[in-house]
Amino acid sequence: MPQRFFSALLLCTFVLIFGFSCASKKKIASEPFKEVISTARSYTGTPYRYGGTSRAGIDCSALVYHSFYAVGLSMPRTSAAQSQQGKSVKKNEIKPGDLLFFATSRKRKQVTHSGIVTEASKSDIRFIHSSTSLGVSEDYLSNPYWSKAFLFARRVLE
C-alpha cells in the first residue's frame, strides 16, 4: 500500500511540476492589441535590415510577425502573405492593432510593406513599422509618402 501511495504521489508531483511549468500556451490578454503594440514599440530604434528578424536588424514583416507572436498568433513571414490574414477593414474603421499594407515599389498594386496601427482618430492614423531610412519608428498615414503608397487595412485581432 505505501508503495502505491508513493507512486501516485510521485506521479502527481511530476504532473504539477512539468505539466504546468512547461505549458507552451500563452494566455491571451483581454486586449491583445495593447501587447502587440507594446511589443512592436519595444523594437523602436532597431535598424532596418532586409530579411532581418532580430533586434540587430529587422524588416517590416518580421516586426509584425514578432509582435503578433507575443499574443500567441502565428503570422506568415512576408508582408504579402500577411496581407491575406484576417478580414478587410474600411479606412474609417481602422483601430489600434490593425495592419496597414503598402505598395512602395514601382508595382503600385503589389504589397511590399506593412505596419501596425498604434493610434487611430478621425483626423489621422499612426502606425509603427520598420522603414529603410529610420528603422523601427512610428509615422502617420497622412504623411504624403505613406498616403500615396497605402493599399488597404486588415484586422487580425477581434
Hunting for cell 512547461 — which residue is that? 22
Domain boundaries, the chain: 29-155
Q: Can you give the pLDDT at residue 106?
A: 81
pLDDT at 22: 35
Using one digit for the tens of pLDDT, what is the confidence trace for 51-88? 999 999 999 999 999 999 999 999 999 999 999 999 99
pLDDT at 105: 86
Q: What is the DSSP string of the chain?
A: -HHHHHHHHHHHHHIIIIIHHT--PPPPPSSHHHHHHHHHHTTTTPPB-TT-EETTEE-HHHHHHHHHHTTT----SSHHHHTTSSEEE-GGG--TT-EEEE--SSSTTS--EEEEEEEE-SS-EEEEEEETTTEEEEEETTSHHHHHHEEEEEE---
Quote the pLDDT of residue 24: 34
**Per-residue confidence (pLDDT) for residue 108, from 0 to 100:** 79
pLDDT computed for residue 2 by the predictor:
53
Average pLDDT of span 125-143: 97
Q: Which one is catalytic: 12, 22, 66, 113?
A: 113
Higher confidence at residue 106 or residue 84? Answer: 84
> Which CATH superfamily hosts domain 29-155?
endopeptidase domain like (from Nostoc punctiforme) (3.90.1720.10)
- pLDDT (average), residues 83-100: 98
2-49 pLDDT, tens digit per residue, is: 555 444 444 444 333 334 333 334 444 569 999 999 999 999 999 999
- Is 22 part of the annotated catalytic residue set? no
User: Among this protein's residues, is 66 annotated catalytic?
Assistant: no
Would you state the pLDDT for residue 85?
98
